[in-house]
Structure 1
Amino acid sequence: MLLYNNLFRIITLSLILFNGLHVLAGNREEEIYIFAYFKGNGEDGLHLAYSKDGYNWDALKNDESFLQPKLSKDKLMRDPCIIRGGDGLFHMVWTVSWTDKGIGYASSKDLINWSEQQYIPVMRREEGARNCWAPEITYDPNSKNYMIYWATTIPGKFPETQIEAENAYNHRMYCIYTKDFKTYSDTRLLYDPGFNVIDATIAKINDKWIMFLKDETKEPVEKNIKIAYADQLQGPYSKASKPITGNYWAEGPTLTKVGATWLLYFDKYTEHRYGAIASTDLENWKDVSDRINMPNGIRHGTIFKITQKELQKLLIAK
């Protein structure tokens, strides 16, 4: 009888433990993928789409703008990059113009109501700087610094890769640092891979900082995505890898993880559509472009994650 009672208690406790774990698992909030992007030339501002599986995307707010651009003479909002910062806020930077010496910045608690748009004159001290394109933000939790980085052409620098093709653009990656988006460090060169480079995005994976970048070389043609590595966010970064994208022109890479798989999205801009490659080790990549479903007209953007509660607010936004 004693053996029976003990066995009954063990079974009962096991059932309670199983049900408790099941309830906890059921209450775990589902992560939602958000894609921030622009359409056309960026005239109408920020667009957002969401996905529950990382492959199939639906535009939010009937694909209308969430934020209208107000900065620079051109008033554009191209290449939006949004991250969730260490302070819990969403921080966004973007390209304000084809020819300006600064970039745009704004923040939000909910992706619906945004702060006043701020112009950051990142290349004001470079008299000949021609542009500031595709800025991105990466947060370093150790230093609590945000690094903002972008591509700029400064005529006369890096003459070894200067050609007349494509209006003689010859970009390198530059950066600044901030802790509060009020005061900023001086601008410095972040990465010179030995070729014309744009559209970098950086993520920390395990103990390495990994930069995905576009080789913008036209003669001989490259126009592909490559990878560089560093031990620290600020670099120095390694020599760029061989191309990880295929025989097509690709730009604007953005990375996310779905389960155990890394997905790298990019704009196949000459084909007017998006592509994606997948990897479980960041070394061997498989083209999965046929598996993705994107809103019409989507252009160069970034992926980040939000909660189900945050998505519900976006779904009813007007």
Structure 2
Amino acid sequence: MSYFTAQDEALHMAVSRDGHHFTPVNGGAPLLRSSVGTGALRDPFIGFGPDGMFHLLATDGWASPAILHAVSADLSTWSSPELMPVMTAVPGAHNAWAPEFFYVPDRQCYQLIWSSAVDPGDTDGDRDWQNTGQDHRIWGCVTTDFRSYSPAGLFFDPGFSVIDATVVHDGGRFVMAFKDERGVNELTTGHKHIKITAFTSLGGPFEPTNGPVSPAPVEGPALFRRDGEWVLIFDHFLEGRYGAVSSRDGLSWAPAGVVVPQGARHASVLTLPPSSPLRFQFEE
């Protein structure tokens, strides 16, 4: 599990043998900080790259049109973060949040996705990101080597504000969870919950959405397999806690249990194969 905290916007990690209880590593201290861009490292996501290395993507602050990228062979020692200017060429792009990536087998490429608010008519940049909702869509680009990238383009636009998309490969299709970002940041809000859709090829079409599958308000969904079922975890960001639901068919979801490190924000989960020598090297 990779995550950040409100008190320390850096890469923190935790491990679990069962997908139920995640224990912090490194004594809870961060394994990587950013020294570029805004200096923040939020919403960390880790996946396997084409070079057999672990690739980290993360948010570079509230109002940065670039995202962070770093590489590691062992999840412990990381390269210095670099900025990937994914939205700097898009007129009116104000941010690039919660970047992730997934492999597309039939095209032998990696699809990057993130959330951006684009308003070419607004140039003042004075936005209350933490308290006032913005009009986001899911954007993306494609790479084969994490060195060169296609131009950024719209990836998912359901006609309303959405953020925090996460995608997993499931048989012959891709399943995507995302946050319906409409509503306000209050416990009694409408929307601000997680929905699910699916697609078989890049660009869609997307299946009708299922959900909400979570309570509200939550954000930062992550999907992983546990005990033969899907588990979806999410951040109750106004309450300082985590929640989860699980499903065996991807259609019907029920409350599930998960224990994450105290203060964890917007976590992502990477499942290591049983043969991996790194599987539990961090456990104390």
The two structures have a TM-score, normalised by structure 1, of 0.80
TM-aligned CA deviation for residue 205 of structure 1? 0.7
Given the alignment, which residue of 56, 59, 82 partners 1:118?
Answer: 82
Partner of 2:64: 100
Q: Give 3-state SS (helix, strand or coil) of 1:62's partner.
A: helix
The CA deviation string for residues 278-313 of structure 1, in whole angstroms up to 9 with x for no partner, is 10000000111xx32221101102101225621443
2:277 aligns with 309
Partner of residue 14, structure 2: 49
In the TM superposition, 1:173-252 aligns within 5 A as 173-218=138-183, 221-246=190-215, 248-252=216-220
**Contact 1:225/1:251 (CA < 8 Å) preserved in 2?**
yes
Q: Does 1:37 align with 2:6?
A: no
What is the deviation of 1:129?
A: 1.2
Q: Name the SS of the counterpart of 1:309 in structure 2.
A: coil
CA shift at 1:167, angstroms?
Answer: 3.5
One-letter amino acid matched to 1:179: T
1:262 aligned residue = 230
Cα deviation digits, residues 76-132 of structure 1 (max 9, x gap): 110001012343211110001111111001111101121232211111122321111
Q: Answer yes or no: is the 8 Å Cα contact 1:223–1:250 preserved in 2.
A: yes
Give 1 or 2 for the bigger CA radius of gyration. Answer: 1
2:235 partner amino acid? D
Instruction: Return the alpha-carbon distance in structure 2 between the equivalents of residues 102 and 206 of structure 1.
Output: 32
Q: Which residue of 2 aligns with 1:143?
A: 107
Contact 1:251 / 1:267 at 8 angstroms: preserved in 2?
Answer: yes
Residue 12 of structure 1 is matched in structure 2 by none
Q: Which amino acid aligns with 1:295?
A: P
How far, CA to CA, are the matches of 2:82 and 2:237 in structure 1? 29
Task: Give the structure 2 partner of residue 30 of structure 1.
Answer: none
Question: Displacement of 1:235 after TM fit?
Answer: 2.6
The equivalent residue for 1:58 is 23
SS in 1 for 2:271: strand
Q: By how many angstroms is 1:141 displaced? A: 2.8
Name the aligned partner's letter for residue 110 of structure 2: Y
SS in structure 2 at match of 1:310: coil
Q: Which has the higher helix share?
A: 1
Contact 2:232/2:245, CA 8 A, preserved across alignment: yes
> Which one-letter code corresponds to 1:60 in the other structure?
V
Take 2:36 and 2:109, find their aligned partners in 1: how far apart are those partners? 25
Shift of 1:237: 2.2
- The one-letter amino acid of 2:278's match is E
TM, length-normalised to structure 2 = 0.89
Distance 1:273 1:93 in 2: 23
How far the C-alpha of 1:41 sits from its partner, in A, is 5.4
1:295 aligns with 2:228: no
Match of 1:314, SS? coil
Quote the RMSD (CA, aligned, Å): 2.0
Cα distance in 2 for residues equivalent to 1:93 and 1:116:
12
Counterpart pick for 2:33 among 47, 64, 68: 68
Q: Which runs of 4+ in 1 moved over 3 A?
A: 164-168
Is it true that 1:77 corresponds to 2:41 in the alignment? yes
Q: Give the 3-state SS of the residue equivalent to 1:300 in structure 2.
A: strand
Alpha-carbon distance in 1 for matches of 2:279, 2:170:
26
Q: Secondary structure at the match of 2:281?
A: helix
Contact kept, 8 Å, 2:210 with 2:251, in 1: the verdict is no
The question of whether the paired residues in 1 share the 8 Å contact of 2:3 and 2:267 is answered with yes
User: Secondary structure, in 3 states, of the residue corresponding to 2:14?
Assistant: strand
Structure 1 unaligned spans of 5+: 1-34, 158-163
Matched residue SS, 1:263 = strand
Structure 1 residue 257 displacement after superposition: 0.6
Identity %: 34
Structure-2 change in CA distance of 1:82 and 1:129 (3 Å): same
